[in-house]
Chains A and B, each alone.
Chain A
Amino acid sequence: MNTTLLAFFIVAFISLVAAWRVITDPSILHAGLWMGLSFVGVAGIFLLLEAEFLAGVQVLVYVGAITTIILFGIMLSDVGEVRVGPEPPGWVQAGAAWHRGLRHAFPLLVAAGFAGTMLGLYTQSGWGQLRERPLELAGLSVGGIGRELFSTFALPFEIASLVLLAALLGAIVLAMREEER
């Protein structure tokens, strides 16, 4: 086994376990921190794919902005612990135990299903062939990404920023309405 593959398995394992803990951790703040770790793991996978720019942006945006904002929101909103899933039915002990097991297994099942779907999509779309070409030529260098964003993908890029702007304005409007009450 070569070192890249080994590194991939380690990083992937860390991000998967972290993602699983995001759903199962009873403390919502810990869930937020696990989410940050999971994002860092994804950045590690980008690094292994030699997409340094994407890895940098991943950390900058997902750890620096999104995780921070979510942690910030949690701290401002005074929720200590959240219950995960509905209460187990008290009249069947075996059922309750089964339910407890399910409570931890269910997120894993969902994750596995999602991973299976995505893997199916990847194999169908023929993205595996991208690996044949050097990534610099595939337009994944910093300059290449910049040029692509401002030419081929200019319109989708602008649409994405418009959506974000709309979300921002919506958030401001929601916050204002709260203030008036």
Chain B
Amino acid sequence: MLVDWVASLYQSVQATFVAHGWPLWVLAVLTAVLKVAGVLVWILLNVLFLIWLERKISGHVQNRPGPVYTGRFGLLQTLADALKVLLKEDVIPAGADRWVFVLAPLVAFVPSVMIWVVIPFSRGVQAQDLNIGILYVAALASFTVPSLLMAGWSSDNKWSLMGALRSAAQLISYEVPLILAELGVVVLAGSLRLSDIIAAQQRSVWFLFLQPVGFVVYFIAALAESNRTPFDLPEAESELVAGFNTEYSGFRWSIFFLTEYANLLGMASLAATLFLGGWSGPFLPPFVWFVIKTYFFVFLAMWIRWTLPRIRVDQLMDLGWKFLLPVALVNLVVTGVFVVL
């Protein structure tokens, strides 16, 4: 009903514009700005909650309570941390490559917001239903590696550089199986458009049941893409201090942190859309289903992070190239044959 209300509001505003003879591009710009604001608020609120959730889950996994003092159940902890980070001094190292150093967090953060253009929150609630939906997401994800390389290089610090190189190698290795796993879904749905993929799942069953192998490959590769344990070699504290963002502080550091959780959320919501039917589901409103499914994946990722140890570099490469890639290829071929028959 909220959706209908917004739609009718939009129509009445549009009618006002036409009646008064105001230029329609003003309306287009206004709606675009409103959509961006909506997405930003959604991401920021979720990231605030996600960081709290991560600390709570890590606490309970390790048999301790996690944050408890700030607010009820420590819910305000992240807010306090965010304020602290914003008030901190913003240091740019003397030897840093200034321009690249400043640009790197932006190059990382902007694509993680742009992904939300195509994510369907509910029936018809989607900023833009692009016909290249999944390809758009995959293309945006490819900005992550250059941004990390920029951050690592410009810091002029060997740990940053090592972290950046590691993460570049890791992301390149896992991007291929990730896209191949997404392709399995695309072949089944016959469209790159995310709303078509959800519609295809409403007609048959969730693609999780038709693409179990593809789903496992997608999930492992997505974990690796978001640099989370067991794939957090780029930021292995015991070896690299903090990885590519060692030299970053204050606001710029918090942008990287924000990006990490925005990517986790984006990965989870894309998984929910591709494999669990997105917002479709019985009884509850579509948006609630979307949030439930997304947070199911978020919880799974956090659970894995705090349960498994980090894998070695050679194991990482072996897993990516010698296991995930062939499995994803075979899965794609089998899916193609299945669809043709």
Contacts and interface: CB of A to CB of B under 8 A. Distances in A.
Contact of A56 (B132, B146, B164, B175): B132
Contacts of A63: 139, 142-143, 146
B82 interface: no
B135 A68 contact: no
A75 B155 CA distance: 13
Given A60-B139, A64-B139, A64-B175, A142 B131 contact: yes
A142 B192 contact: yes
Nearest to B143: A63
Interface string A19-43: 0000000010110010010000000
B149 interface: yes
Contact of A68 (B132, B139, B140, B168): B168
Given A64-B175, A68-B172, A57 B135 contact: yes
A15 interface: no
B317 to A, nearest CB: 14
A180 to B, nearest CB: 21
A55 B138 CA distance: 12
A4 to B, nearest CB: 12
B146 A71 contact: yes
A30 B168 contact: no
Contact of B145 (A52, A53, A55, A68): A68
Q: Is the interface of A mostly helix, strand, loop or mixed?
A: helix
Interface in B167-184: 168-169, 172, 175
Contacts, number: 73
Interface string B228-262: 00000000000000000000000000000000000
B142 A36 contact: no
Contacts of A29: 97, 100, 153
A141 B191 CA distance: 11
A75 B130 contact: no
B5 interface: no
A68 B131 contact: no
Contacts of A30: 100
Given A60-B142, A65-B142, A53 B132 contact: yes
B274 interface: no
B136 interface: yes
A53 B153 CA distance: 32
A114 interface: no
25 contacts: A27-B97, A29-B100, A33-B146, A33-B150, A52-B130, A53-B135, A55-B132, A56-B135, A56-B136, A56-B139, A59-B139, A59-B142, A60-B142, A63-B143, A64-B139, A64-B141, A64-B142, A64-B145, A64-B175, A65-B172, A68-B142, A71-B168, A72-B165, A72-B169, A75-B152
